[in-house]
Structure 1
Amino acid sequence: MADIASAALAGAAMGLSAGFAPGPLLSLVLSQTLAHGPREGVKVALAPILTDTPIILATWLLLSRLTGTPAVLGLVALAGAALLCRYAYDCFQAPPPDAGDPAKAPRSVLRGVAANFSNPHPYLFWATVGVPYLLETARSGPAGPIAYLTAFYVCIVGAKAAAAGLAGRFRRFLSSRGYRLLMAGLGASLLYFAWGFAGQGLSLLGLAG
């Protein structure tokens, strides 16, 4: 039960961080919301569910073949730690998302899918963080990966949908102190997971004391 709870907590933390962090998909969520209303922004927020499945499956097949090569997995874990540190830095330093007023036609789902497929972040995240974590938790059965994925997608979609709602009703939130504090908390959670990935990577490489 503790492993399932830990997996769900990790998925929630990473999902919230990815959901609220400034980036192409969140910018599209906000622009569609401001141009066409929160409903169109929520449609964009659903894009990760549609685009991530083939990325996860391809990465799972590749990394599962490398389970007998701890040096490679160690390097992947260290790369994941570095990526999480970069995301944490973005959370601490990035300005609030641009809430401009573009006037483009809807087709929000198509725009969201195109934006997410062309964004390198999902590929990097699942290759160095998400799938390695799933493979680790899968050793104890399918419950851990299911808990992680469920929490991750509920939180990433929920965070972007919440951003759409806030942008539609309370535009000032995007430049408020509350938003900056939220991002700082999410950045701190990413540093915590980066520490764990770094320790795992060093252990796999035989460098942990």
Structure 2
Amino acid sequence: MHFLIIGTLMGLSAGLAPGPLLTLVISETLQRDARAGVKVALAPILTDLPIVFFTLLVLTKISGFHHILGVISIIGGCFVAYMGYENIRTRGVRLDLDGGRINSLIKGVLANMLSPHPYLFWLSVGAPIMNKAMSQNITAVLSFIIGFYVFLVGSKITLAIIVGKSKWFLRGNIYIYTMRTLGLLLFVLALLLFREGYSLLMNH
């Protein structure tokens, strides 16, 4: 349950945070329809799988090197703290509607593959979390991954549907205060990663 909650928090925050993929979800929804936005939202399921497998492979190789894992955990804490800061200072999502006839799903896949965020997340944040989960059992690992992607993709799909009905939602108080609350929770998670990193460094 612990790792499911962490995955849910991270997925929800990443799913709602302003960025290239969210902007594309919303722009496709406004230019075409909510169905097009949903297609873009599904892109991480297709593009992130190799990154997740690579992260798991790296973890099996360095699981005994506590100092390396400690450094990764601290870097991950910094990245999560930055995500929290960005969430707290958000003023909504600005859109650049540029048209185009490329398939929405292909647009989403390209946008996510070319964005540094999935790589940074899984190597600096996902790695230490999954390392701790692996020390328990495979269920803990799967709980984190499933919780993360259900809420990452689910939140984007939900936004596409909402924006299809009311495009002003992304500049409204509900969205802004939701992001700020998630930002504060991310700071808490960052502190936990810092603590885990310090513990690993002290035990190497």
Q: Aligned equivalents of 1:119 and 1:85: distance in 2? A: 19
**Matching residue of 1:141:** 137
**Matching residue of 1:192:** 188
Is residue 48–residue 157 contact of structure 1 (8 Å, CA) maintained in 2?
Answer: yes
**Matching residue of 1:120:** 116
Is residue 90–residue 180 contact of structure 2 (8 Å, CA) maintained in 1?
Answer: no
Counterpart residue identity of residue 106, structure 2: L
**Matching residue of 2:56:** 60
**Matching residue of 1:108:** 104
Q: Aligned equivalents of 2:60 and 2:184: distance in 1? A: 30
Is residue 92–residue 171 contact of structure 2 (8 Å, CA) maintained in 1?
Answer: yes
Percent sequence identity over matched residues? 37
- 1:139 deviates by 1.7
Q: Aligned equivalents of 1:100 and 1:53: distance in 2? A: 29
Q: Aligned equivalents of 1:181 and 1:128: distance in 2? A: 27
Is residue 36–residue 106 contact of structure 1 (8 Å, CA) maintained in 2?
Answer: no
Counterpart residue identity of residue 137, structure 2: G
Match of 1:14 among 10, 32, 41: 10
Q: Aligned equivalents of 2:48 and 2:40: distance in 1? A: 14
Post-superposition Cα deviations, 1:148-186, rounded to whole Å, max 9, x if no partner, equal 111111101111011111111111111111111100111
- 1:97 deviates by 1.3
1:11-90 aligned within 5 A: 11-90=7-86
Q: Aligned equivalents of 1:122 and 1:136: distance in 2? A: 20
Match of 2:161 among 159, 162, 165: 165
Post-superposition Cα deviations, 1:86-136, rounded to whole Å, max 9, x if no partner, equal 100110113311234332224011111111010001001000111321121
5+ residue gaps, structure 1, are none
Is residue 7–residue 147 contact of structure 1 (8 Å, CA) maintained in 2?
Answer: yes
**Matching residue of 2:125:** 129
- RMSD over equivalenced CA pairs, Å: 1.2
Q: Aligned equivalents of 2:120 and 2:180: distance in 1? A: 22
Q: Number of paired residues?
A: 203
Q: Does 1:91 align with 2:65?
A: no
Is residue 35–residue 104 contact of structure 1 (8 Å, CA) maintained in 2?
Answer: no
What secondary structure, in the 3-state scheme, does the structure 1 residue paired with 2:135 have? helix
What secondary structure, in the 3-state scheme, does the structure 1 residue paired with 2:39 have? helix
Is residue 3–residue 133 contact of structure 2 (8 Å, CA) maintained in 1?
Answer: yes
Is residue 30–residue 167 contact of structure 1 (8 Å, CA) maintained in 2?
Answer: yes
Say which is worse superposed, 93-102 or 55-64, in terms of deviation: 93-102
Q: Aligned equivalents of 1:161 and 1:176: distance in 2? A: 18
Q: Aligned equivalents of 1:158 and 1:90: distance in 2? A: 21
TM-score (norm 2): 0.96
Q: Aligned equivalents of 1:66 and 1:201: distance in 2? A: 14
